[in-house]
A and B are shown apart, each in its own frame.
Chain A
């Protein structure tokens, strides 16, 4: 029996509460030392209360049962399942007609995959409270897991007899039908479940599978596009009520994080606020609540949370980074820069922050600093193509053409498959403002490869530049005319204007090479 196994496990612990009566089991106190202080205090206080009740010779059976049961609920709320099990066992032994204890024991069995024990206990619970819909739904789910489909169906139908709108029961029946490859029946049940809880977007996946089984690929694809992470659960006030017993910030942080990861932002916000209520100095709660509020569009609320976090820890990099994000969105680039610099003073290796900083410096027209930051990013992460191209652009602006070409050459050598890097290299080889850096033949070869792969008009224009650089002006003009015709068809008017300007030069004949920077030639000479 499960309890015996668990009690044996627990027998290693030293702290125990001996049973006051025959038939009850010894309660093994869990080790509370590693728990959050507030939780530890809560549990110790309740344990002291239970001890007093157990030792009270005047305590009635009902009082004793309630004391054990309540302690069990608290343990279960914190996932301390082993002592919870002992408590429920004693409570149920003392008051076997009390639905709660046998039902909660069943939930622990189910959680720990002790199917036979769970079934036995749920059946007892069902006789004590036949109207409690979670009992047949849970039984149905266990049978489903055991692939006892007829038993599962019977229990889900029993649940519908109690609550005809039970989405969990309808979903379960859909799953039974799916297992039996009765796809039309599955669609029917899943549709009903979805109608009850439209937000349960995970049902769309089951619907997609059912439609796939029916050979309706179109509907299957449509449902896949709507599928999400929100599932269906049964209405279970007893288990849901356990959550209200929880104190401390950590458990709310965990739940908030889980909700945040699943993009259930409203739920995440509630949990993080509870964490702050438990500990107003909770740094992760403030930072995470801020992150959630960004997602819900409450920028002001988010900023308040990040500022609160920074009051607690002025070096918190996440708070600084997120504040920078909010400020940047409001075009407060100067302030955003200050926060990003704070991040980097704590963690100079934070490349996300450094890239962000470089972008903000660029927006603030602080070009020298932006170039320095982009260069640092490229050095640390050569895979960052955006940073590389910004660096090249800034070097070109500073007329450091050789450095720009060197940088893009290096990037292309490391990541030849990166298209924008390759295109930039082809462009510079064809049309660098510094003539002696150009290499027309190589530019043409590279540009043709890129154009062949992408078919982009902009890349076609690099081919014409390379032809022009090689003095093949007639061909360049011919190419350019074709590009213009296509650009006109696609109504790309800006591009048409640009291409026409270059076309005139190509049509004039040699020398038709792209214009350079006279200053650069002087410098190069």
Chain B
């Protein structure tokens, strides 16, 4: 309970980065964004060009093991607190014992064994605003030994020291890496008690009891082992990948952060053991608008769960009655990735779940008080979603017009006949999709404007968003199974005005995940956003909030609803730059 307040003058940290410029690398400069509109593509793919060289390895041997088509994810996070987003990419490994990575169907060519990799962002911004983006692989120095069969990654500061930590999910034991703040990480899995030896997928940091410490939800997918994996067939009678339903769902795990460097498994006492499916995607937000964070879990082939926070350390699954467990036809779909955002501007968190081809990707619009309605068709997302199998997905405003757009990273999970006929040895590749929000609760597919690389046929899985070059628009990182990581730099967003916010805690500057931001642009125009790293699929996003303002040149007020219920207000924040808003330093309202 807060009993006092202080009103400070508006607190600014003007324009990133705070760290000194680094020497420019031998990379082409990215010119500042032009002022006027042109026919430029939305994105430019630059991963390899900027040193983000990563090839996913899935260890496949032709035996159609389910994990090989499932991974992996990536994280955008500022591990060295220098003001720009670094990248961690999750890696696979061999699946079968006594198998050499170099002798699998797609042999591993690296000089060292496959492992997850950390890339430091050495962004340099010149005085004229031009940017030189370059990444340096610092895995070795970081101390991160992610050599398990990796699936996903979650980011959160577990000890409130201001340095973001990493939780890695694996097929097998998970790993918690504590950021020491000196460029290195230490494995604290055992010490923190956060291991889960099963097949974990997405995870999310959430301060569900509002005690100021980030707790952790970990999803588990299927009780798979190479010895219990049956042979499965497609309708053609040819061998194919099994659905997860041939394996038991193991159940998820909720860890409570005790604030002393350890976590407690509260799965049972919190009630989240009562319902579960083959969990793949998780997103946390205040879905019923009561000020307490809830959790939404996308399950592959089973009804989804909407865990509503009961404000006493427990949750209740209210998905079915809320209208968010199954689609409008009453069918449980193959939930993969999930994201939440206020796409229709009514101040509530809507939910978007990606699915198998032949099923729609489903948009559950929030009617308020935690009730949802499947409005996929009405939003124009019916047909476009059924062509591909969606995984990573993001609500983000690519053109900064103030309306959240949608991205879907696609890649099939059962052999595509057209590619089989072409002799493709791994015939699952599909193009990604991006949809523009027209501000009238409808989406229009604009994938053909997203740039050539965006339409490559790849087996995409993870997707993470963030402003990687700190230029005021949202970039996207996409991971590909058995393929390279792709970095899509936004070319158009900062033609509109924007407001960048980093929301940090009052003590040592932890990113306040779950904080909601109310951006009052004008009397009748308010946007709601939230600070988060979760959502999508196996991936972690930029914790900063980047708000597209369209043509608005002024923001009347920004109200931050902190996770503990307190609210700070700032007025006259400068637009087109990042500001850091520290809890307790605005004009406190309650």
Contacts and interface: CB of A to CB of B under 8 A. Distances in A.
A79 to B, nearest CB: 4
A452 B9 CA distance: 49
Contacts of A80: 236, 417
B330 A179 contact: no
B328 A202 contact: no
Interface residues of A, number: 56
A227 B378 contact: no
Interface stretch (B265-273, B485-493, B523-531, B575-583): B265-273
A179 B377 contact: yes
Given A10-B421, A179-B377, A206-B328, A113 B383 contact: yes
B421 A179 contact: no
B235 A78 contact: yes
A115 interface: yes
A82 B236 CA distance: 12
B39 interface: no
A308 B268 CA distance: 42
A337 interface: no
B565 interface: no
B236 A145 contact: no
B443 to A, nearest CB: 12
Interface stretch (B204-212, B318-326, B389-397): B318-326
B387 interface: yes
A95 to B, nearest CB: 27
B238 A202 contact: no
B40 interface: no
Given A10-B421, A204-B330, A206-B330, A147 B233 contact: no
B99 interface: no
Given A79-B235, A145-B360, 6 more contacts: A80-B236, A175-B329, A224-B320, A251-B237, A415-B265, A417-B269
Interface in B227-279: 227, 230, 233-239, 245-246, 264-269
Given A227-B330, A231-B330, A113 B387 contact: yes
B238 A9 contact: no
B268 A417 contact: yes
B380 interface: yes
A333 to B, nearest CB: 26
Interface residues of B, number: 43
Interface of A: 6, 9-10, 12-13, 28, 30-31, 34-36, 39, 78-82, 111-113, 115, 144-147, 175, 178-179, 202-206, 208-209, 212, 220-221, 224, 227, 229, 231, 248, 250-251, 253-254, 257, 261, 284, 347, 349, 415-418
Contacts of B233: 36, 250, 253-254
Contacts of B358: 111
Given A9-B418, A205-B330, A248 B323 contact: no
Nearest to B246: A257
Interface of B: prevailing SS? loop
A499 B360 CA distance: 60
A215 to B, nearest CB: 11
A112 B267 CA distance: 42
A12 B320 contact: no
Interface of B: 227, 230, 233-239, 245-246, 264-269, 320-321, 323, 326, 328-332, 358, 360, 371, 373, 377-378, 380, 382-383, 386-387, 417-418, 420-423
Given A6-B418, A79-B234, A415-B265, A209 B245 contact: no
Contacts of B382: 145-147
Contact of B421 (A31, A35, A79, A113): A31
The listed residue with most A CB atoms (<10 A of its CB), out of B239, B330, B417, B420, is B330
A261 B245 contact: yes
B20 to A, nearest CB: 49
B471 to A, nearest CB: 37
A113 to B, nearest CB: 5
A111 B423 CA distance: 23
Contacts of A13: 421
A82 B417 contact: yes
Nearest to B251: A383
Contacts of B236: 34-35, 78-80
Contacts of A417: 264-269
Contacts of B320: 224
Contact of A147 (B321, B373, B380): B380
Contacts of A248: 237
A243 to B, nearest CB: 11
A399 B417 CA distance: 65
B330 A12 contact: no
B386 A113 contact: yes
24 contacts: A6-B418, A10-B418, A12-B422, A35-B238, A78-B235, A78-B237, A80-B417, A82-B418, A145-B360, A146-B382, A147-B378, A147-B382, A202-B330, A203-B330, A204-B330, A205-B330, A209-B328, A209-B373, A212-B371, A227-B330, A231-B331, A254-B233, A417-B266, A417-B267
